[in-house]
Amino acid sequence: MCGIVGYVGENNAKDIIIDGLKKLEYRGYDSSGIALNIGGKLVVRKCKGRISNLEEMIAGENLFATAGIGHTRWATHGAPSDLNAHPHTNGDNTIAVVHNGIIENFVELKEWLSRDYGVEFRSETDTEVIAHLIGIYYNGDLLDAVYKAVDKMRGAYALGVVCAAEPDKIVAVRKDSPLVVGLGNNCNFIASDIPALLKHVRSIYLIENNEVVLLTKNEVKLFNAERKPVHRDVFHVTWDADAAEKEGYDHFMIKEIHEQPKGLYETLHRRIGEDGIIRLDGITMTKEDIERFSKVYIVACGTAYHAGLVGKYIIEKLAKIPVEVDVASEFRYRDPFVDDKTLFIAISQSGETLDTLAALREAKRKGARVLSVVNVVGSSVARESDDMFYTWAGPEIAVASTKAYTTQLMCMYLIALYMGAGKGVLSRAEYDEYLKELGELPELLQKVLDQENKIHDIAKKLYKSQQVFFIGRGLDSSVAYEGSLKLKEISYTNSFAIAAGELKHGTIALIEQDTLVIALATQDFLFEKMLSNIQEVKARGAYVLGLAKENNREIERQSDQVIYIPECRDELTPILSVVPLQILAYYVAKLRGCDIDKPKNLAKSVTVE
């Protein structure tokens, strides 16, 4: 979950690396650092805190170098501190390493290095082990030393390595953590993610698992685990770098909330042909394939998991295939029943979520067909899947996911329609009606966004709440989980979501005077049931914020305040109902003075288990 940038060329490496790290700060911001090769010596500067702290530290220093590596950290081993910040070096500071991931056997390696080589460790990190390993194997050839060190390591990692004695080289390695290479004129780059490079290059190598890269300013060489050369096609980035800037908004999160109508439109209309038929690029399932599936697994983490809960409902309804939704971190540890009649759908914004990757690989090993729903072209999940479905949300920078979630929902609807039509269980009339109503969602969503000021005013009354309950029935319960997650992750409010019918089975004991309950009641056929659940919590003193369709005004009698969404089919409400909850979470966090785009202890891309 850390960010890596490396540069070798003719210009000032320090400025280029610092600029790239700023583009990756969403991946980690506990500490940061840089290693530069100056006059055949490695100069390392690093400190706890944001990249601005690092900039202040090195301001005024003459640190001109044409090669170097940098890092922004999300702590896994060792608390955030100056000593634990990357880069890490070996004993005589001739090798420097930046690392994203976890070395699972670092304890035994550390003991071995201490016992047999007398190595003294300065940090609490697993990464320092790598620097010392490379150091003991170094004999004039950095590439060879890295290969020997990697052979000793177990875990997930992306590495950037520089050596004092080889000032014009960077060696990089990828195993289960993202890594890209940027191809420039008389310069080359490494990074954890494409946005770090877009200011300088548009031609990219997407590095595959277990590959090693040797970079000089004039050449990039790729090798596999057996040290054999690898050919790689160049990937040309077409999206606009300006899409990763705030464009006048206070935070990326609120900008991305407002980008959701566009994301929905792009995700839908790029898949609809002139004949009104869905064309799912990257998906090649035939009618026979769909009919063969006896079960669908949707596996994901966090927000993507919540999208999967909605996906289960709509796929079962439209395609008539049983669906199970599982948390990726648990999936492969319970020996799930998967075979060649299973469709495995992996959902991940980044496409690099390690738990989801591990579950995907387990499913493939057992014979499942894998379909991925991701936002990042060329990501690991996409490359390892049989079928790929991109969300077209555009770059999402804020740690708290918003537009990725709603575009993932759009993908779930399109997949369900595609399967239902392909299987022959959905009539053309139903199919056309769903597509028509999906096409109306961007405009309806804009009407929700137009209520931002009203939701801001509600937040002013509620932001001091220390405990919040989200309740709902049917699809509303799935959205309640996402609304609760948004509130807790950016405002640090203790929020909890539960199916409303389960309240009386224990949780209602926690409802007392002025407890804030956010009640979702957008499902027409369950509306009266929800009114009864609202009455239950009101009878115990709760303060209720209701969320309903605009024609269901009866909810005003039971609630203290109400937010309305436009009328639409019950099955499509999640795309609309989640947005007021996103906006509410944003303003509660803002009023509480929280760091909205970079909430504490969290990172955008979770590349460790």
Residue positions annotated with a catalytic role: 2, 604
For residues 285 and 423, is the Cβ–Cβ distance under 8 A? no
C-alpha to C-alpha distance for 193 and 175, rounded to whole angstroms: 15
Helix (H, G, I), strand (E, B) or coil at 530: helix
Q: What angle do CA 492, 497, 501 make, to 5 degrees?
A: 160
Rounded CA separation 254/231 (Å)? 41
DSSP state of 207: P
Rounded to whole angstroms, the Cα distance separating 372 from 345 reads 6
3-state class (DSSP) for residue 588: helix
Instruction: Please state, in angstroms and rounded to a whole number, the distance separating the CA atoms of residues 543 and 468.
Output: 10
Which H or E run contains 436? helix 428-449
Answer whether 581's CB lies under 8 Å from 497's CB. Answer: no
- Measured between alpha carbons, how far is residue 595 from residues 24, 361, 451, 557, 598 in Å? 16, 35, 24, 36, 6
Three-state SS at 71 = strand
Q: Would you call 598 exposed, middle or buried from its count of C-beta atoms within 10 A (0-12, 13-18, 19+)?
A: buried
Helix (H) or strand (E) holding 241: none
CB atoms within 10 A of CB 92: 9
Helix (H, G, I), strand (E, B) or coil at 15: helix
